[in-house]
Amino acid sequence: MANVTEKRNAFRDLHKAGCFVIPNPWNVGSALYLQGLGFKALASTSSGHAHSLGFPDGALNRDTVLAHYAELAGATDIPLNADFENGFAHDPDAVADNVRRCIETGVSGLSIEDFTGDESNPLYDFDKAVARMRAARQAIDKSGSGVLLTGRAEGFLHGRPDLDDAIRRLTAFAEAGAECLYVPGIKTREQIEAVVNAVRPNAVNLLMSFAGGFTVDDIAAMGVRRISVGGTLARVAMDAFIKSATQIAKEGKFDSFAGVISNAELNRFFGEHEPQK
């Protein structure tokens, strides 16, 4: 089994060339199944995790989230990237302290976003956003961990769909030490290629929850290095559960049970892919 250092080295290697999909599990079972399918790395999902616990996205506290990262990273044999939201702090020094705590969970990468948590004033001002990214970089460097840093420009998700501003922020995040750059919410070929070209040679992550209609090959041809799906797989599971339960409650029917994976099949899979000890 790979140790933490080996997983971190493998994660960095994945970002050097080519294009890979980094799907987002929301618990150990989904993480192990994705690993069993042959994916080379995983990423947490703040929304998928929060919804599974009965909370809206962004409502979980830092310690709950850190424990979740430690559980996922400890159970799997492949790298895990942490969706570390806004670092659970506003001040750069506090971000740095929380990044240190995140590194201790065993993750191989982490992302810091520029969303303030306040939809009425959603983005940190430019200088503060860059200072926060620089603080995250310094914390990683001080740790000597080799954790890969992703910088996220969140305007498209929070009512500020300004590509020029997003690119300005990503360019500054790269200069501050972010190695992978990410604008969740962009969806057209023109937007994707503009981001890739602006931050080259840094890696770009594309969120496929919005950019529908493209295949992995299409996205690779645009120069994207990493493809994630955010909370979409978790929503697929929740959607199937809701539709099935609603049919039972409203119609008294169990038609949705037809064709689902059997208990024996899941037992067999998890018997062969138990979490790391």
Which residue matches tokens 């029917």?
A: 253
CA 186 to the chain's CA centroid: 16
Residue 174 maps to a domain: yes
Which of these, 77, 143, 54, 160, lies nearest to 104 by C-alpha position?
143
Residue 109 maps to a domain: yes
Residue 24: domain span: 4-232
Q: What is the pLDDT of residue 275?
A: 86
Residue 254 maps to a domain: no
pLDDT along the chain (277 residues), means of 10: 94 98 98 98 98 97 98 98 98 98 98 97 98 98 98 97 98 98 96 98 93 91 97 97 98 97 97 83
Q: What is the pLDDT of residue 277?
A: 62
Omega before 122 cis (within 30°)? Answer: no
Domain of 121: which CATH number? Answer: 3.20.20.60
Q: What is the pLDDT of residue 2?
A: 86
Number of domains in the chain: 1
- The pTM assigned to this predicted structure is 0.96
DSSP track, 157-226? GTT---HHHHHHHHHHHHHTT-SEEE-TT--SHHHHHHHHHHHTTSEEEEETTT-TT--HHHHHHTT--E
Q: What is the pLDDT of residue 266?
A: 97
CA distance 17 to 223: 10
